[in-house]
A and B are shown apart, each in its own frame.
Chain A
Amino acid sequence: KAGVTQTPRYLIKTRGQQVTLSCSPISGHRSVSWYQQTPGQGLQFLFEYFSETQRNKGNFPGRFSGRQFSNSRSEMNVSTLELGDSALYLCASSLGPTDTQYFGPGTRLTVL
């Protein structure tokens, strides 16, 4: 069974631009969560989607948004990029909200 896939794997943007990251969950998984990982803060929860509905949201500004499609694929968008948004963005999928989360390889975003 294929794992969680994330595209693109690497991205370089400049301040003020916006970016969209994509996540394809494991087949049959309906829950997708997004995390930001930085050396100083570790893994921080961004948001979680289940059946196209956002169930939980972390403490990030409104510049960070996401959505989930009917096939469970998810996208997250960051608008007006700041230098501090440089991080590894990880997507995790699970059968449901209380099930084990399996992580993708992440998208490494660099903001210049």
Chain B
Amino acid sequence: QKEVEQDPGPLSVPEGAIVSLNCTYSNSAFQYFMWYRQYSRKGPELLMYTYSSGNKEDGRFTAQVDKSSKYISLFIRDSQPSDSATYLCAMRGNFGNEKLTFGTGTRLTIIP
């Protein structure tokens, strides 16, 4: 079983819809949680960065972390065709356990 599980999709939603992307994990040492967006033929770019449990909002994006359930989510409001990409969750522990562990990514398509 992988340390981080992510539904690979693909996920297709109409423009303007709310998108929910999720990851579960098994390593309780993970303290820092990230979401990366990767367009085709590009490297991943950081979207959201969260420490421990709680919510963080940045524009149309909201990241949620529930450490008790070992579950993280990314919500995209008012989705746009430009949001079509693969979304990767990533997480790591504290000093001495800093290597990033990624989910396999969810391919998202926003239909105009």
Contacts and interface: CB of A to CB of B under 8 A. Distances in A.
A102 interface: yes
Contact of B43 (A44, A58, A103): A103
Contacts of A4: 43
Interface in A1-57: 4, 33, 35, 41-45, 48, 56
Interface in B60-112: 88, 90, 94-95, 98-105
Q: On chain A, which size bracket covers the interface?
A: 20 to 34
A98 B98 contact: yes
B30 to A, nearest CB: 14
A90 interface: yes
A65 interface: no
A97 B99 CA distance: 8
Interface string A70-92: 00000000000000000000101
A110 interface: no
Contacts of B45: 102-103
B17 interface: no
Contacts of B42: 105-106
A103 B94 CA distance: 21
24 contacts: A4-B43, A41-B104, A42-B88, A42-B102, A42-B103, A42-B105, A43-B44, A43-B88, A44-B102, A56-B98, A56-B99, A90-B43, A90-B44, A97-B98, A98-B94, A100-B46, A101-B100, A102-B46, A103-B36, A103-B43, A103-B44, A103-B45, A104-B43, A105-B41
Interface of A: 4, 33, 35, 41-45, 48, 56, 58, 90, 92, 97-98, 100-106
Interface of B: 36, 41-46, 49, 88, 90, 94-95, 98-105
Give the 6 A-B CB pairs with smallest separation, nearest first.
A42-B104, A103-B43, A43-B102, A56-B99, A103-B44, A105-B43
